[in-house]
Chain A
Amino acid sequence: MEFFSPTDLLGSSPILALGIFSLIALMANALLKNSARVVFFISVAGILAAIGCAVSIFPMNATAFSDMLLVGGYASFFSVLFLVIALFSMFIAKPYLEREQFHYGEYYVLIMLATIGMVMLGSSADLITAFLGIEMMSVSFYVLAGYFRGKLSSNESALKYFLLGAFATGFLLYGIALIYGTTGTTNLLRIVTMYPQAFNDPLHIIGWGLILIGFGFKVAAVPFHMWVPDVYEGAPTPVTAFMSTGGKAAAFSVFVITFSVPMSMRDERLIMILAVLSAASMLLGNWFGLSQTNLKRMLAYSSIAHAGYMIIGIASASSIGQQGIAFYLVSYALTNLGAFGIITMLEKENGGNLNYEDYAGLGKRKPGLAALLAMFMFSLTGIPPFAGFIGKYYLFASAVQSHLTWLAILGVITSLFSTYYYLRIIVYMYFREATNHEEIILPKLTFVTVILCGAGIVLFGIFPSLIFDLMKSIF
């Protein structure tokens, strides 16, 4: 009996690369003094290696480890996305942690470990792989959220996230158990083809419902969103940047694969549940976003709302919807990494300088920075020519195509709400005079990363085919 086929090795190569490099980094961290810089470079090298592996297996379209892991195509696309997010959030984190004098190697190791979980999520062809991925990612997140161990808010954030996250994982696992109980398999590729009659079994449906709760928690959809604002606000800003982009993208990648199984049955009830979930997230996320005064909290509510927009793509169960989600995740990741990157540069100790008023007059003090933040806000609102618009266009198109026009209408109306609070930052930056005249020091690494994010949303906004052409072979 053969233990490993070449496909197995190739398919898991991004995970292996990350795993090996994170172990090396861990060793270096333990053995060397003042090792944070070294660990940073090892981690960057590990991520670049993993990106190389993921890109090289992109043309493959196979499964590995007896259909546990997807190889190439979809999995590679998302792996590259997660890896780029991880890389960018490391770039954002380094100057921030150095300034906060809390720069230790563990940080990068944890980011890599979380990324392994994400890559597993994006490649899961089996509910067990999905579960492993979620746990791997979430446990790293719990630790990262509490990284500033001396700060109360950071501890609170970690504890809240952990308690609620563990609870949600319980639902997920219970759901998996019910599905296994009713079909005898946890493999996503086999459930429908082998046991279509299982969908007549209420226990099977309940199983999917419980899985939905688990995923709903991870993507921060209403009514499973309670943890988001506090966790986002309390966690160190670079961690929030990583969680809100990487965590969300990973959760959505597995959400899409997993739910393509029950959605293929075109069950009206399930479509309605997803549509309501999406509608509630868009409404509540944007509604509460209106009254925020703290940027991190505002972006937390905006993250809930954006989860709502993306769930439209799942509810529509069409390839346009899935492509829309994938594109949206790319644009959302770049936008939020950029926005959080800017926040890390302007933040002061103990969560100072995070309110709208602190951004007054930024357009004059730092024109480049303000222009970038304005672009990110326009992209989040969904104004062309930025990438956020193309994503919304695809998602709303998928809703209209799947006879969910009401959802698309709700989507645009809530976008209108969101215009108000996204524009408020621009109002402060450009239309008000500065109250604070302290000099702003921009760390080069972060600034370059933010510029890359900005260039990305313009590039993909004007030439979206760069991404859609890649997706032709995937969906």
Chain B
Amino acid sequence: MNNILTYTLFSPLVGIFLLLFINKEKQSLIKYIGIAASLATFALSLFVYFGFDAANTQLQFVEKYPWIAALDISYFVGVDGLSILLIVLTTFLTPIALIASWESITDRLKEYVSFMLLLEVGMLGVFLSADLFLFYVFWEAMLIPMYFIIGIWGGKDRIYAAVKFFIYTMAGSLLMLIAILWLGYYASTLPDGYFTTNLLKLYAIAPGIPMGIQVWMFLAFALSFAIKVPLFPLHTWLPDAHVQAPTAGSVILAGVLLKMGTYGLIRFCLPLFPQASFQFTPLLATLSVIGIVYGALVAMVQTDVKKLVAYSSVSHLGFVVLGIFSMTEEGMQGAVIQMINHGLSTGALFLLVGMIYDRRHTREIAQFGGLAKVMPVFSTIFMIVTFSSIGLPGLNGFVGEFLILLGSFNSMFLGSFWYAAIAATGVIFSAVYMLWMCQRVFFGKITHEENRSLLDLTKREIALIIPVLFFIVWIGVYPSTFLKPSAAFTKQAVTQLQNAKSGNIVPTGAMGK
């Protein structure tokens, strides 16, 4: 069990390897292999989860092997309180996304399953890396499968959406590459220094970077993450990508990919460049509040359900960023749990939208109405997920949003309660757009004859959504289970930020060998 992280990380590749030998005509075998591989990964990640020591703030299950020795680049992976839940979320959503495409994807199925599994490797790699070079490799490599998933199996404007997604993300990450290189170079200018991308070594020295440069470093990293989140005004790729992507692509995109941005902010921006982070807190907090309100308002006027859910993501992720930059324990913990919540509830919403699209081949709100009568099970589940998304107490969304608002209300870093106050209106708006949409889709009279003959959910579809619902309720009713893993981590992160703010800790500049 020493190499459990490596096994988890690369286990999807075994599935791809097996697929190489399968005739492309054997569609169900291909599906079973893909699902089996992703379930095996999920099982492995559960070993990590149950072996994880929540009280320990260090990286755990660490594995480290030299990769390019001359530049001190190593294959260095580990989990801590920040990444553990995101890893399980990733391995949890991938099989669900694969099962969700059971019937909707028939063309080039083998490639599709391979790309989904590759995507899983990329996502896990991003969350596990403790070396900036390794992180960057996964961060970029992950673009390739997502690009193909949107581009090949997407909707009408898929080419535009795929290229836009790729170029937007590249634009951000290339500047991050320069910042990574500059960090490595900075390490080599210190006494006894050498070029390194080892994250732990950089944690020790990076806060000492002169302010004039730290600002640029922060911006380079933050831009890349802000595009991924996406933070207003860098969000324009998201609606395109979401609407055009196939259901499973949207689920993964919303469920996991967006979290990489917020994960990056917590993992890299705050601890590496604390001083610059303080300086930019008002800017990022303002943008996230604008995003919360703007995303909600734009969602309100959408006529396409999927686009509505996509814009709601902009709004919800705004909460996460606000929580992060509140730099309080509550806010940060709220942000971590809200990442999981959003992954579950928005993932579920995209699944449900995909199910109705498979039946009606439209997502226009006006095309529906009165579905509650013909599809009672579907409607009930959709309503539960809607309540989760708008933060009804007792379901998961409430926990995260409440903690974030609490944290940002009395944050000394934000310095004003107005951020929280305006953000709180986003909660109300989200209730408005979601409930209004539900009302038009599910209630009232059946206005379109085609809708009368719609079939309710199949057993496979119900089986697919039940696990997600299960966690939505669990987190809502008893959040401690899921707050515990990140508690020690956030406490330590916030303490370090407070120390940096009050100037108690002067970076030692010692790199260690």
Contact = CB atoms under 8 A, between A and B. Distances in A.
Contacts, number: 89
Interface string A424-451: 0011001110000000000000000000
B166 A468 contact: no
A431 B162 contact: yes
A383 interface: yes
B68 A419 contact: no
A400 B182 contact: yes
Contacts of A320: 70-71
B463 interface: no
Interface string A394-428: 00110011000100110011011001100100110
A160 interface: no
Contacts of A420: 163, 167
B158 A431 contact: yes
B151 A400 contact: no
B211 interface: no
Interface string B184-225: 110010000001000000000000000000000000000000
B422 interface: no
Interface string A266-307: 000000000000000000000000000000000000000000
B22 interface: no
Interface size class of B (residues with CB under 8 A): 35 or more
A59 interface: no
B69 A409 contact: no
A419 B166 contact: yes
A408 B111 CA distance: 36
B137 A396 contact: no
Contacts of B174: 412-413, 415-416
Contact of A431 (B71, B111, B143, B151): B151
B47 interface: no
Contacts of B147: 423, 426
Contacts of A464: 68
B381 interface: no
A364 interface: yes
A279 to B, nearest CB: 15
B151 A416 contact: no
B32 interface: no
A419 B167 contact: yes
Contacts of B108: 363-364
Contact of B141 (A323, A364, A383, A432): A383
Contact of B175 (A393, A412, A468): A412
Given A397-B195, A416-B171, A378 B144 contact: yes
Contact of B69 (A389, A408, A465): A465
B178 A412 contact: yes
A371 to B, nearest CB: 9
A400 B181 CA distance: 7
Most chain B CB within 10 A, of A415, A416, A472, is at A416
B178 A409 contact: yes
B163 A397 contact: no
29 contacts: A363-B108, A363-B152, A364-B108, A383-B143, A383-B144, A384-B137, A384-B138, A384-B141, A389-B137, A393-B177, A396-B177, A396-B178, A400-B181, A400-B182, A400-B185, A405-B178, A405-B182, A412-B178, A416-B167, A416-B171, A420-B163, A423-B163, A423-B166, A423-B167, A431-B151, A431-B159, A464-B68, A465-B69, A472-B70
Interface of A: 320, 323, 363-364, 367, 378, 383-385, 389-390, 393, 396-397, 400-401, 405, 408-409, 412-413, 415-416, 419-420, 423, 426-427, 430-432, 464-465, 468, 472
